[in-house]
Chain A
Amino acid sequence: MGINWLKYSAPQAFYPLAGKLIPWFSIVAALAIAVGLYIGLLVAPTDFQQGESYRIIFVHVPAAWMSMFLYVVMALWAGFGMGLNARLSFMMAQAIAPTGAMFTFLALLTGAMWGKPTWGAWWVWDARLTSELILLFQYAGVMLLRTSIDDLRRADRASGVFALVGVVNVPIIYFSVKWWNTLHQGASVSMTGGSKMAATMLTAMLLMTFGFWMYSMAVILSRSRCVILEREQLLSWNKSASTPEPVEVR
């Protein structure tokens, strides 16, 4: 194909591309979440063990999956940034962190909402819960390191190294329900063993996950545009990009 993908590694070329993609990701996200909510809340039958409280799964699991997935993607961008010395990579890592932190918070909060009726406790120091809480601290650490260092390049590297080292926690979270005898239930869906859920439940959960993923794409692209504007504001190219847009980038 005649597209030179490498040119989009330059922030000034990436900025209008991201602007064009955001509406599409937003529309797909809204559709997937709407259908997912419809099936999850209105069509799916009740769970024979947990009653209606199980419906929290349709926000809890997608949020938890996104929290881990986004962390890995953030660390990969930071790694690319350090390996290729590409500033857009660090900008992407910077754009991902707040959304990842938000999904981590949501996974913990909806988990508490699910734990109270099923276990009788909002919180227990179980391996799954504890490692997910540590993930929240890791996101906080990545963001705090960035804001506490004035020199942008040093901030990029420090938070990038921190993010990369912290990746070890992601498999720990994922396999915690296997490695330790935890209160948290085992995986309902696994990459190797298929699903233990009814088809309608699984459909709703996968649709919500896809919706959250597309939502993340939209907000991360949107935040990356903010980051580009904030970080490159003294360069002349975005003189045209900041007012109305999308203006041709010369």
Chain B
Amino acid sequence: MYWGSMSEFWAMGGYGLYVWTSYIVTALCLVWEVLALWRRRAAAAAENRGLL
């Protein structure tokens, strides 16, 4: 383990804002994409059921 304490970890040597923004936005994008696909699939399946 590289870090001495939790606060040191969050601070990222003073670069916390930049590092954590990068990681959080990336995580949000991936999660959003998965959720959007679930919704899209549900909608596509529902539409098929209505049509057939």
Q: Which residues of A does B touch, CB under 8 Å?
A: 41-46, 51-53, 55-56, 59-60, 63, 98-99, 102, 105-106, 109-110, 113-114, 116-117, 215, 219, 222-223, 225-226, 229-230, 233-234, 236, 238-239, 242-243
Known: A42-B3, A105-B29, A234-B51. A229 touches B12 (CB 8 A): no
Contact A233 B29 (CB under 8 A): no
Known: A106-B29, A219-B33. A56 touches B18 (CB 8 A): yes
Max count, chain B CB within 10 A of own CB: residue among A51, A53, A102, A223: A53
Contact A59 B18 (CB under 8 A): no
B4 at the interface (CB under 8 A from A): no
* Chain B contacts for A230, CB-based, 8 A: 44, 47
> B47: nearest residue on chain A (CB-CB)?
A233
- Tell which of B2, B3, B18 touches A117, judged by Cβ atoms closer than 8 Å: B18
* Chain A contacts for B47, CB-based, 8 A: 229-230, 233
Please name 10 further chain A to chain B contacts, defined as beta carbons within 8 Å, in addition to the given A116-B18, A229-B44, sorted by A numbering: A43-B1, A56-B19, A102-B33, A110-B22, A113-B22, A215-B30, A222-B34, A226-B37, A234-B51, A239-B52
Cβ distance A91 to chain B, nearest Cβ, rounded Å: 13
6 closest Cβ pairs, A-B complex: A52-B13, A229-B44, A53-B15, A242-B48, A110-B22, A52-B12
